[in-house]
Amino acid sequence: MSTPPAARTVAAVTHVDLTGEPLTVEQVVAVARYGATVSLTPGAVDAMSASRAVVEALAGDTRPHYGISTGFGALARTHIPADRRADLQRSLVRSHAAGSGPEVEDEVVRALQLLRLNTLATGRTGVRPATAQVYAAMLDAHLTPVVHEYGSLGCSGDLAPLSHVALAATGEGEVRDAVGQRRPAAEALAAAGIQPAVLTEKEGLALINGTDGMLGMLVLALHDLRALLTAADVAAAMSVEALLGSDAPFAADLVALRPHPGQAASAANLRALLSGSAIMASHRETYPDGSPVCTRVQDAYSLRCAPQVHGAARDTLDHATAVAERELAAAIDNPVVTPDGRVESCGNFHGAPVGYALDFLAIAVADLASISERRTDRFLDKARNEGLPPFLAHEAGVDSGLMIAQYTAAAIVSELKRLAVPASVDSIPSSAMQEDHVSMGWAAARKLRRAVDGLARVVAIEVLAAARALDLREHEPAPGTAAALRAVREVAPGPGPDRFLAPEIEAVLGVVGDGRLVAAARGAVGHLT
């Protein structure tokens, strides 16, 4: 089976040079998900060496410098003698590696490790090139530190998750190796020929003080949602067609009366996908002036307003992308080494900008799934499905058809509504009230990952229902929707007596999730946004 175009584009990125300049979404996904290798450029090494010289000049200073000669958090005013400052960094990483719960997915850990490494490459953290090289070597050897679900409040950044990564780089803690085996970090590093990092002044703090976990999950979600939004348009087009809906509300001049870019893009997709449909033509009349007019007036909102809802989700995605791109351009640490050689404390590690974007996306995802499930439900109700069998069943009564597939979609949508409750409005003070307002950005990211998976499943169930309905119609679908239907039929049979349905849902989920559905439709109609 061929690889879908979107996956090919990312998978084609096999190596990423880390210059300290912003990474792209595609580069992050290529390293995190597809195992692209990385290397630090000479310019990045020079930038790190320059900022390291600034830190070393302060290492013996009698004046307090946060993270160099002081404790951390509420212990920031505790002076640390010069001969204990390396111990300070090692103790920091050990004590902050306090995560709990299930392991976080490998791609998330690789993303956060890559993003932290790229921040080091900016030369704004004071970390030595040799320490950064350990991170690069671990990524290339596919040694993924074991990071746990709970532990980050999103301020000061993702402390516990990043600490587990830093701990593994020093040869402590555990990793998953290239074949997925869980091993002691020291053993795995030795087997890969990687010398563990030995932390010196400020390095421990610099390795753990960033928004890289929540940002990594945001970037992965952006990549997946970009493709899912197009798949949702394909599903909606199949549903409008199979439910004998009207494409008149999708006309460009009508859509332009409300100039939201996402709405325009979604409507354009629907027009392209429905163009040339014999099913749509079957309920058009020709007026005396020769113009064709659809006899269906005022479709239900889930059909008529698809571009408005899908488009709002697209615009939210664009906003979140802008936030992510700004964050990818950031050099987050505390204290930070400025270009003019100062070492200054700041609050840039606070995850609010990323947390808000993650929560906004969770709201959009829930609503997109909600309108998709409503279209699925219309297919199954004999009073609303325009002449199709009840529940699209082969022999209604003996067969239940897709009755319980809709239950599954409804259960997921209900879960997505709960996941849409924002995490970023919560805050639990920590560190003896020094960190008295936190972002909960990590929690927002974790629930968004679950929401994106749920959306893909709901869209897949709509596609399954729409495909069966199209097969039951007398006339031929449009070239675009017909191509999507063929992609579904490659993995799931058409109408017939009841059969084990769960594998079919999973098979169609695969077609939706890996891009085959959109690739098939795009191959028939050309450009889809």
Contacts of 164 (CB under 8 A, 6+ apart): 97, 99, 145, 146, 147, 148, 173
Q: Cβ(392)–Cβ(402) under 8 Å? A: yes
CA 275, 478, 279, 230: dihedral to nearest 10 degrees?
Answer: -80
Amino acid at 280: M
Cα→Cα distances 397→142, 185, 390, 393, 401, Å = 54, 59, 9, 8, 9
For 151-218, list the strands marked E by DSSP: 174-176, 182-184
Q: Cβ(255)–Cβ(325) under 8 Å? A: no
Phi/psi of residue 275, nearest 5 degrees:
-65, 135
CA 381, 384, 387, 391: dihedral to nearest 10 degrees?
Answer: -10
Q: Cβ(27)–Cβ(115) under 8 Å? A: no
Helix (H, G, I), strand (E, B), or coil: what is residue 490? coil
Selecting among 34, 66, 356, 407, the annotated active-site residue is: 66
Radius of gyration of the chain (CA): 27
Instruction: State yes or no: is 407 an active-site residue.
Output: no
Q: Cβ(109)–Cβ(117) under 8 Å? A: no
Structure tokens at 438: 């936190």
Residues marked as catalytic: 66
